[in-house]
Each structure stands twice: as structure tokens, then as C-alpha cells.
Amino acid sequence: MKNLYIDFDGVILDTITVLYEEAKRQEYEIDDAEFYEKFNYKCILKDKYIINDSINCIQKLIDSNKFNIGILTHCHSMKEAADKVKYIRKHFEDITVIVCPKSISKTKIIHTKDAILVDDYAGNLREWEAEGGIPVRFSTKLNGKGFPVIDRLDSLLEMF
């Protein structure tokens, strides 16, 4: 079985668009730590923000028994991390959730060698590949930016 790590924001839920809009509305810079500390993540961790049936796709991946699956997510605060874990637990009882502080590369949190990372951010994928991992870009517009690209998580069943 291959180790498969799935990013949360921009892959499972479309949280980034809402976060950026809210930061702008509140007149914060998008990288302002104070904004993320104050933000109520529960308002965006909702099923209405699911991207391309991602929850059902993850269940298909689990059912395939082809992968050891973990959700690998950058977080700005412990509050954000706790809210994301609660959201994932609402849908999956037994899936690993790995929280990575925003200031640390995902490659420093887990063993990357020969593991698959599905992420929408090309910077994370470049780091992953440099550490011996297998990068797959998630893009609803199928823009791979030089990486293999998918727009549905269950497409991984055909790739691996």
C-alpha cells in the first residue's frame, strides 16, 4: 500500500476563497497572524464548501485498500487545527489527521519518500518532490503547473 497524504484547504474544502474574502472584508493582510487567530473556522468548515465530491471520493479511496491515507493540513492556530479535526471526524472515524504548523514545511512533519501528496499549492509539491515524494496537483481547472494533475480525488485510483 502506498502512503497517501491529502491536503485539506483547496482540496477537500474550498476554504481559501472564503478566508481571503473575509480577510479583505476585515481589512487584514492575508498573511496577518492576528486574522487567523480570531477567525471562526466553524463558519467555513461546512459541507457546502466540499470540492468535487471530495468526501465521497476519500471514502472510495479508503474502500479500495490501495492506500494508507492521511489528511495533512497546514494550520495557523490550534483552534483551526481542532476545528479541522472535528470536521474530518464527522465524516471519517478512522483516518489519520496530521496538523502542520503553517511556518513548517509538510516535508518536515512526516516521511515523504515514495509517499503521494495531493495538494493545490505547487510550492508544497516542489518541496515534496525534492524530498523523494510523489507530487500530485489538485486543480479544478486541471492546471498541473508541471505536476500530474487531478480535479477529483477518486482519479487517484486510475493513477496508482
Domain ranges, ordered by start, for the chain: 2-159
Q: CA angle 115-136-78, nearest 5°?
A: 70
The percent of residues above 70 in pLDDT, for the chain, comes to: 100
The percent of residues above 90 in pLDDT, for the chain, comes to: 93
Question: Alpha-carbon Rg of the chain, whole angstroms?
Answer: 15
Query: What integer pLDDT is reported at residue 37 of this predicted model?
Result: 85
Residues contacting residue 43 through CB under 8 Å, at least 6 positions apart: none
Q: Is the pLDDT of residue 99 over 90?
A: yes
The SS3 of residue 156 is helix
Residue-wise pLDDT for 142-154, tens only, equals 999 999 999 999 9
pTM of the model: 0.96
Query: What integer pLDDT is reported at residue 38 of this predicted model?
Result: 87
Residue-wise pLDDT for 115-151, tens only, equals 999 999 999 999 999 999 999 999 999 999 999 999 9
> CATH class for domain 2-159?
alpha beta
Query: What integer pLDDT is reported at residue 101 of this predicted model?
Result: 95
